[in-house]
A = this chain, B = another copy of it.
Amino acid sequence: MKTIKEIGEFGFIRLLEERNRVFFNRVIKGIGDDCAILEKDQESVFLISTELFIEDVHFLKKKSPPYELGLKVVNASLSDIAATGGRPLYLFTSIAVPQETGLDYLESLYKGIKEACKKYKVDIVGGDTSSSPDRIAISIAVLGEAKKDKLVYRKGAHPGDLIYVTGYLGDSAAGLMLIKEKLSAPEDIAKKLVNAHHIPCPRLEIGNMVAEHGLANAMIDISDGLIADLNHICEASNTGAIIYLKNLPISQELTCLKERLSFPLHELALYGGEDYELIIVVPSNKAPRFKRLCSEKGFSVYLIGRMVKEKGIRLALDNRHIPLTIKGYTHF
């Protein structure tokens, strides 16, 4: 009999998706997008996303301060709401901790959770607490809402559409390498990159604007890596994509570390996870309005490629198109 490692995380999710297609109740979108989408009333829907964070898989207790961890679990969860263009409202936080966990640790963790919720006007309304034999497990569920006719999905991208991202790519992955001591950097640079890993920013405002003005054909947030998440859009939309290598937004801090890496810098931007920036797929005729509105509101956006008919994702480099391996962070 196979193990879960052999079929892989996405194989397992596909299996679940296929087996859970019969609905007793009204469901607008079940398994297979950033959020489940459920009818609220005639005009609005509820968006729900749940995520698990396991010690030694998603975070290292000794290396991630609890306050920052609290910020991160909320911000990463809110990012799923941002990716559909919705507004987060409520948060549930369940946590299992070993009995000897210090109350100061938990107080800092919950302070971070609360601070992040306050920033985005989200109410903490429930959860569960339990003991755990040796590792911390945190489960976050976020409930948000959106106008039914304004939702943006993974599907919907067309050949010719332009691909934008909302911020630097690869900083979070570099931060994780620094935390794990697989890379070293001057103190000020290290601090910025580790911060990018610990305190991602859910792009709620721009996600909201894009939905409100109907500017995008598809949207997703980058949790597994640019290529892995863009591939979700390609698969759902039945398209391919071309990425312009020279356009990838890479921070000054990350660029400084170029010589210290044992692989090309752009690999961090293409395959590094947890940047939590949005990939926004904009039809070309709406691009001028999209760019104007972004500039008016002070949102940074970077044009990094375009959707094409031919399947797969390719990298445009000196007039050549190099096929990219579809990979990213997967759990199995």
- Chain A contacts to B: CB under 8 angstroms: 1-7, 9, 12-13, 16, 19-20, 22-25, 27, 29-31, 35-36, 38, 40-41, 46, 48-52, 54-58, 89-90, 92, 94-97, 99-104, 106, 110, 114, 121-135, 137, 139, 141, 143, 331-332
- A40 vs B100: C-alpha distance in the bound complex, in angstroms? 40
Say yes or no: A128 contacts B27, CB within 8 Å: no
Contacts of A133 in B (CB 8 A): 54-57, 135
- A101 vs B7: C-alpha distance in the bound complex, in angstroms? 11
Say yes or no: A24 contacts B92, CB within 8 Å: no
Q: A50-B92, A124-B20, A143-B38 are in contact. Are A6 and B103 (CB under 8 A)?
A: yes
Could you show 25 A-B contacts with beta carbons less than 8 Å apart?
A1-B102, A2-B103, A4-B106, A5-B99, A9-B129, A13-B129, A20-B114, A23-B123, A30-B125, A31-B124, A38-B90, A40-B41, A41-B41, A50-B128, A50-B139, A51-B94, A52-B95, A54-B96, A54-B130, A55-B133, A57-B96, A57-B130, A57-B133, A132-B137, A141-B141
Say yes or no: B27 contacts A92, CB within 8 Å: no
Contacts of A92 in B (CB 8 A): 36, 48, 50, 141
Majority DSSP secondary structure for residues of A touching B: mixed
Say yes or no: A100 contacts B131, CB within 8 Å: no
Q: A94-B51, A94-B52, A135-B135 are in contact. Are A122 and B12 (CB under 8 A)?
A: no
Complex partner residue of A123 from B25, B101, B127, CB under 8 angstroms? B25
Contacts of A141 in B (CB 8 A): 48, 50, 92, 141
Contacts of A35 in B (CB 8 A): 126
Contacts of A40 in B (CB 8 A): 40-41
Say yes or no: B1 contacts A104, CB within 8 Å: yes
- A157 vs B31: C-alpha distance in the bound complex, in angstroms? 41
Say yes or no: B135 contacts A31, CB within 8 Å: no
- A331 vs B56: C-alpha distance in the bound complex, in angstroms? 22
Q: A96-B137, A133-B56 are in contact. Are A50 and B126 (CB under 8 A)?
A: yes
- The closest CB in chain B to the CB of A25 belongs to B89
Say yes or no: B57 contacts A131, CB within 8 Å: yes
Min CB distance A1 to B, Å, is 5
Q: A1-B102, A50-B128 are in contact. Are A16 and B110 (CB under 8 A)?
A: yes
Say yes or no: A102 contacts B3, CB within 8 Å: yes
- A20 vs B126: C-alpha distance in the bound complex, in angstroms? 10
